[in-house]
């Protein structure tokens, strides 16, 4: 099995709610062997368009772990907070 990643492209709408969401996500990742790789803020665009200002990259052992994490009651409970805090495109990638 290959490593899989979740990439979140983010535009924060409510910084206080976003801070709460960010503080609560790590506890939902631990049971799935996930690791926060980095969080960052857009510094510039060299080509194309990028509608979001922030990004997060999370590494998982495989796509099955991603799907289990996303469907978990612990993460699902955070979705209303996430939606209130930010607009986000959440993508998954497998390594090749």
- Per-residue pLDDT tens for 37-77? 999 999 999 999 999 999 999 999 999 999 999 999 999 99
Return mean pLDDT, the chain.
Answer: 96
Residue 68 confidence (pLDDT):
98
Residue 1 confidence (pLDDT):
56
More confident residue, 50 or 2: 50
Locus of tokens 């062997």: 33
CB 33 within 8 A of CB 65: yes
pTM over 0.85: yes
Q: CATH assignment of 4-43+51-94?
A: 3.30.70.100
Residue 12 confidence (pLDDT):
97
């Amino acid at each position: 099995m290959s490593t899989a990643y979740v990439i979140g492209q983010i535009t924060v709408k409510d910084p206080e709610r976003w801070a709460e969401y960010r503080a609560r996500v790590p506890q939902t990742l631990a049971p799935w062997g996930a690791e926060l790789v980095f969080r960052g803020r857009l510094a510039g665009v060299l080509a194309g368009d990028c509608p979001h200002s922030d990004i997060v990259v999370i590494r998982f052992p495989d796509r099955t772990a991603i799907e289990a994490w996303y469907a978990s009651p612990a993460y699902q409970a955070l979705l209303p907070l996430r939606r209130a805090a930010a607009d986000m495109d959440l993508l998954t990638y497998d390594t090749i």
